[in-house]
């Protein structure tokens, strides 16, 4: 079994050092898309499951312990022009305000 980066079916002269393969002019070529350091299966990212759990926990904690405030009354949802994906023209900036929760208070 050939390694992905040395597979002659994927690369012309796979054992030669040719960094020009990855120049910006060839970014959209199919060959460049074959190099994915953490793909899927046995070579997948070893921390992906842990990251998914920790992100959910972190977001849940922030929602539980903070109130979130924005400047002004409304969020500007205008989109920036151009690019491969949509981005906000004016990034959303939220300020966390700690909640005053007293767990030890008696009724």
The length of the chain is 107
Give start and end residues of each alpha helix (H) in the chain: 30-33, 48-65
CB 90 within 8 A of CB 71: no
Question: What are the φ and ψ backbone dihedral angles of 97, each rounded to 5 degrees?
Answer: -120, 120
Rounded Cα distance, 76 and 79, in Å: 9
> Per the annotation, does 94 bind a ligand?
no
* CA dihedral (66, 72, 78, 84) positive or negative: negative
Binding residues: 45
Binding residues for heme: 45
């Amino acid at each position: 079994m050939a390694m992905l980066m040395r597979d002659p079916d994927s690369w012309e002269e796979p054992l030669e050092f040719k960094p020009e393969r990855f120049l910006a002019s060839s970014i959209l070529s199919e060959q460049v898309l074959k190099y994915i350091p953490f793909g899927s299966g046995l070579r997948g990212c070893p921390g992906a499951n842990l990251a998914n759990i920790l992100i959910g926990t972190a977001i849940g904690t922030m929602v539980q312990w903070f109130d979130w405030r924005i400047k002004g009354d409304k969020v500007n949802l205008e989109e920036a022009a151009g690019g491969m994906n949509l981005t906000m023209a004016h990034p959303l900036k939220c300020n966390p305000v700690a909640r005053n929760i007293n767990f030890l208070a008696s009724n």
